[in-house]
Amino acid sequence: MRGVDGEGLPTWRFLSQTRRSRVGPSVASARLRWHCALLARAVGAALVAASVLKAAGLGRCAITFAAVRAGGLLVARRCGLRASLLGPRLLLPPLTHTPGGPVLALADEGKDGVGSGDDDIFGVIGSAFEAWGAAAPGGLEALMRNDVREGGHLAAASLRNDVRPRLAQHTFYVAQAALTPEEMTDRCIRQPRRLCGYTPAFVWQHGDGLVAVNKPWGMRVHLPPAQEGGQRQVWPEELTVHNWFRDTFPGEKPRTCNRLDFATSGVMLIARSKEVKRYMQKLFEKRRVCKMYTALVLGNPPQAWDKGVWLTYALMDTDGFARRVASDTEIKDAQTAETFVRVLRRATWPLAAEGGRPQLDVSLVEVRPRTGRRHQIRAHLSAAGHPILGDDAYGGNPWGERGGSYRMFLHATGLEFPRWDVPGENMTITAQSDFELELGESRAESEAAGATPVGGPSFGR
């Protein structure tokens, strides 16, 4: 099932507590919330349409649309859900494990509530464009049109938690000359989702032992030791996953069980006790955790990838940031690495051609690394000739331009591992990506789509 919320974040689901267990009757009570949220979804487009009509001078129609959407937002608040153009924020609310079984727990939406004033969002963005010093006549109108085309993620985003932090992040990039003001403004207009999705999302909690969270793209897990507790962020407004944890669990120390790169999004586990941290650390060291990823890669891989292939390039460090594949004479000094890859769909990106740039051939792939080397997935896919879309460090920059994609399309979709409280049973935690919604026309559907991977890694390998 696909899942996407108004902020461009995945829909969270706790798939299973055991291999055979079912979620239970408590989830049935969420169905009413889900159906009520459909109403919010149906009227969620009204505010975006209002913005466009308002820009066109049709003020009365804009007021009517805004009034309709306001009613939808009220329904969404009553149901504890956030409205968007494509669906509710949560198809099923996150589950909190208790001795009596799983119970539904709605996430806190924050003081700015649902949608948080879309007119203000575009006004704040326009002010940022001016502050960067980039002349963009008609830029806001184009931004609104592109946002409607891509599903209205920006109009439904949180101004305080998503848009303002992203603007601060991009302001820093402009100040550091990573992109010129004109280049940054152009990329924001062409890809509005560049300004969304900065908030970590609570996925699941097991008592006071373990917490699962979705890390957004473009966010560090924590500051380096020399910066912890200080104000030495890369940019003043920078936040980390550890900031989210301390705000959510005041007075507790975050004990990270797995790491994700700055540009990678997806499931992370944080232990709330030393005992659970040691337990999870041993599982990762013994390779008893099955790690699942989804990625968009450039090009169309060979048909053999439809059933699944193993990439086994040995990796070495370089003098810079990226890693490289070791030559035959360097194998003894390199790290062995194993990555299973399977093509799920072949299509084009972006959803529609933009600014005279042609659509690119891309493929949606499932990735399951057996080893856990730094940059393993990124380096392996690049070495195989199909770098991850948006991974500038490994040749994945679309159209050959820096920052051509608003993000690197690599997402940690799930983790499966043995339960420490119920011997012999496994726990699977997932946060599905919404990458498929980014794709345009399919080229050639994989013959193996939906089939069981051949030779793929199973749990505990």
Instruction: Specify whether the CB–CB gap between 272 and 245 falls below 8 A.
Output: no
Q: List pLDDT tens digits, range 404-438.
A: 999 999 999 999 999 888 888 999 999 999 999 89
Which of 411, 409, 415, 452 has the alpha carbon at shortest distance from 430?
Answer: 415
Q: List pLDDT tens digits, range 165-215.
A: 999 999 999 999 999 999 999 999 999 999 999 999 999 988 878 999 999
**pLDDT at residue 72 greater than cutoff 80:** no
Tokens of 332: 């003894």
401 to each of 67, 110, 188, 225, how far by Cα in Å?
Answer: 42, 37, 14, 34
Q: How many CA atoms lie within 13 A of 358 on its CB side?
A: 5
Mean pLDDT of the chain: 76
Q: Please, which residues have CB within 8 angstroms of residue 92's CB and are 6 or more apart in sequence?
A: 12, 13, 27, 30, 34, 104
**pLDDT at residue 47 greater than cutoff 60:** no
Q: What is the Cα–Cα distance from 14 to 298, expressed in whole angstroms?
A: 31
Q: What is the Cα–Cα distance from 337 to 27, expressed in whole angstroms?
A: 40
Pick the most confident of 237-241, 401-405, 408-412. 408-412
Which of 457, 441, 230, 452 has the alpha carbon at shortest distance from 348?
Answer: 441
Name the pairing type of β-strands 426-431 and 12-16: antiparallel
Instruction: Specify whether the CB–CB gap between 315 and 339 falls below 8 A.
Output: no
Tokens of 189: 């207009």
CA 425 to chain centroid, in Å, comes to 28
Q: What is the Cα–Cα distance from 205 to 355, expressed in whole angstroms?
A: 44
Tokens of 33: 């919330």
Residues with catalytic annotation?
Answer: 261
Q: What is the Cα–Cα distance from 83 to 40, expressed in whole angstroms?
A: 5
Mean pLDDT of 272-299: 95
Name 347's bridge partners. Answer: 362
pLDDT above 70 as % of the chain: 68
- Phi first, then psi: give them for residue 383, nearest 5 degrees: -65, -30
Q: Which residues of 115-148 are buried (b: 16+ CB within 10 A; e: fewer)?
A: bbebeebbeebeebbeebebebeebbebbbbbbb
More confident position, 158 or 232 = 158
Q: What is the Cα–Cα distance from 430 to 422, expressed in whole angstroms?
A: 20
Helices 118-132 and 46-55: angle between axes, nearest 10 degrees: 50
What DSSP string describes 17-63?
Answer: SSSS----GGGHHHHHHHHHHHHHHHHTTHHHHHHHHHHTT-HHHHH
Mean pLDDT of 356-360: 85
Which helix (H) or strand (E) segment is 181 a member of?
helix 181-190
What DSSP string describes 302-367?
Answer: -GGGGT-EEE---EEE-SSSSEEEPPGGGGGGSBP--EEEEEEEEEEESSS-BTTBPPEEEEEEEE
**pLDDT at residue 285 greater than cutoff 50:** yes
**pLDDT at residue 360 greater than cutoff 50:** yes
Which helix (H) or strand (E) segment is 104 a member of?
strand 101-104
Q: List pLDDT tens digits, range 78-134.
A: 343 333 333 322 222 333 332 322 322 223 333 343 344 445 899 999 999 999 998
Q: Please, which residues have CB within 8 angstroms of residue 90's CB and are 6 or more apart in sequence?
A: 5, 11, 12, 81, 82, 106, 107
Q: Which pTM does this prediction carry? A: 0.73
Least confident of 80-84, 345-349, 393-397: 80-84
Instruction: Specify whether the CB–CB gap between 315 and 376 falls below 8 A.
Output: yes
